[in-house]
Structure 1
């Protein structure tokens, strides 16, 4: 099976194939220094981070995988629940020889980032989570008052979305990219990479498997939150539409939480407002590191 092309989009970014938890992950790596692991969402690949990786790489070793089943990573039959994705990330850091890392997740990357931080506080130095919800944890009731976004149900029905979208994947991906940037759109090279990554029935099956695993992920999140806390410095970042809902979910579980909002920004923060995101990430990730703090 030929997976989509995943060529680097910026100088200094290299791609590696790394085996972890029964899959082979396509991983973009840049820079040297303390590790930062970036976990994307839907409908994205590692190139979601292409606008922020070069600046982060000035001070950090930046590690941005394609999540299981997405981009050029293995299109696995299963393992799309948050706990399995956290295990993927843990194995990836181990394979790269990283004993600790700051972990940044957005959208579908947030639940595995959260679970990894809860179960491996020795591994996760700092945690940043953005524009997502953590299953049924309290705090997001206002956001969910009208029900979850319409596509959650559409994606959750086995086989349905794949059938309906066949031949129209590009238009569907474009809708998310346009809506997620308040109409501003994303760079052509990134848009084309996302379109390619989500074209074909098997690519769509893997994408929607992340949604079909949400009930399992929700139970995993509840169980983990009942027995552990976030002991590392944590930041939540909201924009539109999630806003402060994620912060409200995380605050009762975190010993040290900073909540931030990015104004006039769509859901796809790293591409819609990369400079504003870097202004938040840079100082937070560098804090406490010799030679980087301040």
Structure 2
């Protein structure tokens, strides 16, 4: 009878195919709580390849959750770390130290505690400010840096940037603002998710809006978020000082055409000598949500490229 040999052959082929699929499956993403700088920093971690680890830093009204679509695309050849900034997500809420210089020191302590020295940095919004402060303080430990749509306080004519057209929310902190938004976190965040997008209907997805509203609705989280803005005057002083020593590592700047546009690229060239500027056509501030494929393609290309290929240029991307 040929049935049994055929069955064995087909079963063997199926097992080989399953093994191949598993070998090419997306790397698993794990949650870790890392003790560093007197804080507990919650971190998403994936990958274990030999290349330089990447640290992904989220912005305001989001958490490390925003990076989940990108992590598998980078984790095929390196460790990828996406922490919740102190005060956000499930990381500790510090009593003070929401200036970006201190937050960068906290993230650096986390990286050191995990056993890594040299990293590549990616930051969006508030996260780009933390990434810049990290690179400025530890330039020998940063192989490359990516800044994604926002601005650098204290650099150039920074107070005229597009994202500052609504100055009220940068002064919105204290007891009364907290009472006004308690239980209404989603309403408050809708301003950012909708008004900073090129098209509110193609901005942060509904499921993510619910996730972030719940996260920031936890005790102390909105107060911590307000402190990111409250610290801008100190950030401006610190960054003006950092800018006196231009960064030399390759820098990618991704800016939404309908948001930061050329402004962030111009700022970057005031603080770094090797800037690779890309404007994402048609996108607003929420690059990972409004233009995910174009954004992730640029990120993966830059992070995976040999350092010699990350030369200065400026262009637009669809």
TM-score (norm. length: structure 1): 0.88
Name the residue aligned to 1:23.
39
**Residues 1-294 of structure 1 correspond to what in structure 2 (within 5 A)?**
12-33=28-49, 34-140=52-158, 143=161, 148-155=165-172, 157-181=173-197, 182-183=199-200, 184-200=202-218, 202-226=220-244, 228-239=245-256, 240-288=258-306
Q: Distance in 2 between matches of 1:211 and 1:93?
A: 25
Unaligned runs of 5+ in 2: 1-25, 309-318
* In 1, Cα distance between equivalents of 2:32 and 2:164: 40
What is the rounded CA distance, in whole Å, between the counterparts of 1:268 and 1:116 in structure 2?
23
Whether the 8 Å CA contact 1:139–1:246 is kept in 2: the answer is: no
Name the SS for the 1:122 alignment partner. Answer: helix
Alpha carbons 1:101, 1:125 under 8 Å: kept: yes
RMSD across aligned positions (CA): 2.1
**Unpaired runs of 5+ in structure 1?**
1-9
Larger radius of gyration: 2
Number of equivalenced pairs: 278
CA distance in 2, matches of 1:276, 1:179: 21
Structure with more helix by fraction: 2
- Displacement of 1:261 after TM fit? 0.6
Label 1:93 to 1:153 Cα distance change in 2 as closer, same or farther (>3 A). closer
Which structure is richer in relative contact order (CA contacts within 8 A, separation 6 or more)? 1
Q: Normalising to structure 2: TM-score of the pair? A: 0.81
Deviation of 1:253 after TM superposition, in Å, equals 2.4
- Determine the C-alpha separation between the residues in 2 that align with 1:147 and 1:175: 13
Deviation at 1:115, TM superposition (A): 1.5
